[in-house]
Amino acid sequence: MENSVYLLEDDESICELVKCTLATCGIGCFAFGTVKDFFAALEKKQPDLCLLDVMLPDGNGFDVLKRVKEEYTAPCIMLSALGKETDKVRGLNLGADDYISKPFGVLEFTARVKAALRRNHDSAVLRVGSLEMDSGRMTAVYRGKELVLSSTEFRLLRYFARNEGKVLAREAILNDVWGYGFGETRTLDNHVARLRKAGLDFETVFGVGYKFLAD
């Protein structure tokens, strides 16, 4: 199978549903019922995508997400019965690439997984001014210095770089980078602030969004 997905989920019925659904799309899915087993597999090989439940027998999915984003490069989608807006915002602020609430529709779930995989496999090298980004290697070099970025920060910067000099609305950025549009902007602002600390130039367009300026 072309793509591989790691599923951290202790509900066997959900595991079977996800595995069968992804198999019909040619996507291999490996399920793990505990955090311990999940990280043991992750240390041996990184998948193309991680699907993470929140409530687990030996840990919390948000803690797992944080560790994955700190130590690995695989994108992550939260898959949880905790569907409140505050839960979604928490996951996205921690770096989740998407958040799907249970119960979920199979068609929407498949579309979101495929979208995440497409974003992850975009291997083009992008050069804008003094910035060079290699999506295949997940590396970004600015003014000769390699930047240390999370996968979400990398995707966000790549999105801005492809639209260099354009004023981008917050809602459009959220939809195109995170894949949702319920209007929460705090997570975007936090990520832009971290990119600014790396020396990148973002202009705030009040009431609209941001503009990235390369040199």
pLDDT digits (tens, 9 = 90+) for 152-189: 899 899 889 988 999 999 988 887 787 655 456 788 99
The pLDDT score that the predictor gives to residue 1 is 42
pLDDT < 50 positions in the chain: 1, 182
Where in the chain are the domains?
Answer: 3-120, 125-213
pLDDT digits (tens, 9 = 90+) for 61-84: 999 999 998 888 788 999 999 889
The pLDDT score that the predictor gives to residue 75 is 87
Q: What is the DSSP string of 162-209?
A: HTTT-EEEHHHHIIIIIS--S---HHHHHHHHHHHHTT-EEEEETTTE
Q: How far apart (Å, rounded) are the C-alpha atoms in residues 52 and 18?
A: 12
Please answer whether residues 209 and 170 qualify as being in contact, where contact means their C-beta atoms are separated by less than 8 angstroms. yes
The pLDDT score that the predictor gives to residue 113 is 94
CATH number attached to the domain at 125-213:
1.10.10.10
- For residue 19, what is the enclosing H or E element? helix 12-23
The pLDDT score that the predictor gives to residue 122 is 60
Nearest Cα neighbor of 79 from 56, 47, 57 is 56
Beta-bridge partners for 211: 167, 203
The superfamily in CATH containing domain 3-120 is Response regulator (3.40.50.2300)
The pLDDT score that the predictor gives to residue 2 is 63
Q: Which residue has the tokens 């995170």?
A: 178
Please answer whether residues 201 and 161 qualify as being in contact, where contact means their C-beta atoms are separated by less than 8 angstroms. no
Q: Which two tokens stand for residue 115?
A: 């979208």
